[in-house]
Chain A
């Protein structure tokens, strides 16, 4: 399958700071990238859909000013958690599709801990 690389895999930050997570498609061009959040023993919750060159589409209840998404190229999307708080601690996962209607491959995930 295609390779999606997510970085960093783990990050610990202080409350009030911002954290940037990168998602790269290594062997294909990703028209669409998706950002998910997963709390322990819960399923994946879609946060936003990111399309290259356009603004991200956020799911209901997700603060677009807190979770900034940039998809500047066909191989890179970034999620920035701004002014992070302990309740933002979670497992953040990106996925990417070569085309909108093809299978999505997941990055390794980023475990964010806000202290």
Chain B
């Protein structure tokens, strides 16, 4: 059973702080890693994806991947109240029929003004 684990939160940070969201996965064959943001009542929105070990930065967001530790994280710098949402980590094994995404349960982030 392929699993993706996230701390459900809620994670509460003050406006302007760095929010750190973590995710671990069980399948060592996983090749692609995605972070989605989901506002209440809305569908997920892709924030970032990462395939290689290390950091990937896009604006205020940085994804970090460590395949040896089976760990992927998302850092949000200068957090804004509009960042308050549930953040979903998704992992794809890749190859053959395994292109589907396995989602974690999500971490609820609250950014306080």
Residues of A within 8 A of B (CB): 1, 6, 32, 34, 42-44, 46, 49, 57, 91, 93, 95, 97, 100-101, 103-109, 111
Residues of B within 8 A of A (CB): 31-32, 34, 36, 41-46, 49, 88, 92, 94, 97, 99-101, 103-106
CB distance from A51 to the nearest CB of B (A): 10
* Chain A residues with CB under 8 A of B43: 6, 91, 93, 106-109
16 inter-chain pairs at a CB distance below 8 angstroms, sorted by A residue, are A34-B100, A43-B88, A43-B103, A43-B105, A43-B106, A46-B101, A49-B100, A93-B44, A101-B92, A103-B46, A103-B49, A105-B46, A106-B43, A108-B42, A109-B42, A109-B43
CA distance A108 to B44 in the complex (A): 8
CB distance from A54 to the nearest CB of B (A): 12
Are A32 and B99 CB-contacts (below 8 A) given A1-B46, A44-B88, A106-B43? yes
CB distance from A24 to the nearest CB of B (A): 14
